[in-house]
Amino acid sequence: MNVLVTGGAGFIGSHACVSLLEAGHNIVIADNFCNSSPEVLEHIKTITGRTFSHYNCDLLDYEELAEIFEKHEIDAVIHFAGLKSVPESTRIPLTYYHNNLTGTLHLLQIMEKKKVNRLVFSSSATVYGTSNQVPYEESMPTSATNPYGWTKVMIEQMLNDYTVANSDAAITCLRYFNPIGAHKSGLIGDNPNGIPNNLMPYVCQTAVGKLPFIRVFGTDFNTKDGTGVRDYLHVLDLAEGHVKALEHLEKKKGFTVYNLGTGQGTSVLELLDTFERVNNIPLKRELHDRRPGDIAESYANVDRAVKEIGWETRYSLEDMCRDSWNFIRTNTDKQAN
Ligand code: WQD
């Protein structure tokens, strides 16, 4: 299929582009590089030996986006483009609602006009909010505790309503748990601008000496060792999930949701210890109070994805720690300060 990938230069998007190309699909990338770099496009070409069209395109510019659909015969879209920082979304909520919701609306309006019926959307486990019990199941009610999370809840609703109104539409929302790791080549990985919010990029920048120590946020949660438990999955497994979901849309119309996780919970201390062990690097850490809004545990029930799209994770926590380190140590000069 010819697949338009919005946000294809980002952490998850770039790995999904590699998997799509390796599965024989053609891609077109639209990215405004607000949290990524054009050099990632060259790395995708190097890894796959394939080339593709790409556009510096902001989804808020309707005409610019529409032009891509005029230039290319698009069969499906994978929609990654969006702002995704939880703390930033609480500081500038209107920017998040405008960017994420209006950008998605423009995309849907053009898809409807051009009769492009297949869409895979990058959603998040954050939509499970704080009132569900782990392991999270797709049928559970959704909510959020921050504007970023609400944009994911609202976009899922938009997509559901759109599917009800358009019987030819085939739309899947993939709820990511905590993607970490990097491509085995070390060419692409999680390389956020500024000081990372998320645990693994923070660990990596500490390991490479750019940050002095890791703050462990909360040691009094009701978990196995008192620290936060999350469902970390390898970004390569996550990328493969997009190919499986996309190809499933050739057979199944309507609106579906899948959890993409391992189904296993790992604590902060377990992740730090695993990273130290597999990479033989000591990590200085300081124990701190909980981060506002953090929940104790989040991990997935992945039965539906396994059964319906034949997706299963292949990589271990050790692989995730090894591959994250391999990426950061070969790209540290490019790290933003
Ligand atoms: C993981 C654990 C922290 C940093 C993420 C994204 C959010 C959304 C959902 C995409 C928690 C602890 C973290 C640090 C720490 N992603 N931690 N020290 O909170 O599950 O949310 O997934 O939709 O955008 O933020 O992931 O990596 O931020 O935190 O102790 O310096 O690590 O308390 O328990 P989280 P995270």
Ligand 1 binding residues, C-beta < 6 A: 84, 86, 124-126, 178, 197-199, 202, 214-218, 228, 230, 268, 291, 294, 298
In a domain? residue 242: yes
pLDDT in tens, 187-237: 999 988 789 999 999 999 999 999 999 999 999 999 999 999 999 999 999
Residue 316: inside a domain = no
Q: Are 227 and 218 in contact (CB under 8 A)?
A: yes
In a domain, 312, yes or no: no
Which residues fall within 8 angstroms of residue 157, CB to CB, at 6 or more apart?
none
Among candidates 175, 193, 275, which has minimal Cα distance to 231?
A: 175
Whether residue 55 is contained in a domain is answered as yes
CATH number reported for the structural domain that contains residue 61 in this entry: 3.40.50.720
Q: State which residues form the domain around 29.
A: 2-180+232-262
Q: Tell me how far the alpha carbon of residue 282 lies from the centroid of ligand 1, in angstroms.
A: 21
Q: Tell me the per-residue pLDDT of 102-143, one tens digit each, with 9 for 90 and over.
A: 999 999 999 999 999 999 999 999 999 999 999 999 999 999
Tally of domains in the chain: 1
Q: What is the mean pLDDT of residues 22-27?
A: 98
Are β-strands 266-267 and 229-230 bridged in parallel, bridged antiparallel, or unpaired?
Answer: antiparallel
Residue type, 116: V
333 pLDDT band (50/70/90 cuts)? low
- Structural domain contains residue 59: yes
Q: Which two tokens stand for residue 30?
A: 């639209």
Choice between 335 and 11, residue whose per-residue pLDDT is larger:
11
**Distance between CA atoms of 17 and 150, rounded to whole angstroms?**
27
CA atoms 237, 243, 247, 248: torsion sign: positive
pLDDT value, residue 193:
78
According to the model, what pLDDT value does residue 167 have? 96
Q: What is the pTM of this model?
A: 0.96
Is 54 part of any domain?
Answer: yes
Cα 158 to ligand 1 centre (Å): 26
Please tell me the distance from the alpha carbon of residue 189 to that of residue 326, in angstroms, as a whole number.
Answer: 9
- In tens, the pLDDT along 43-63 reads 999 999 999 999 999 999 999
313 within some domain: no
Look at residue 270 and tell me if it is in a domain.
Answer: no
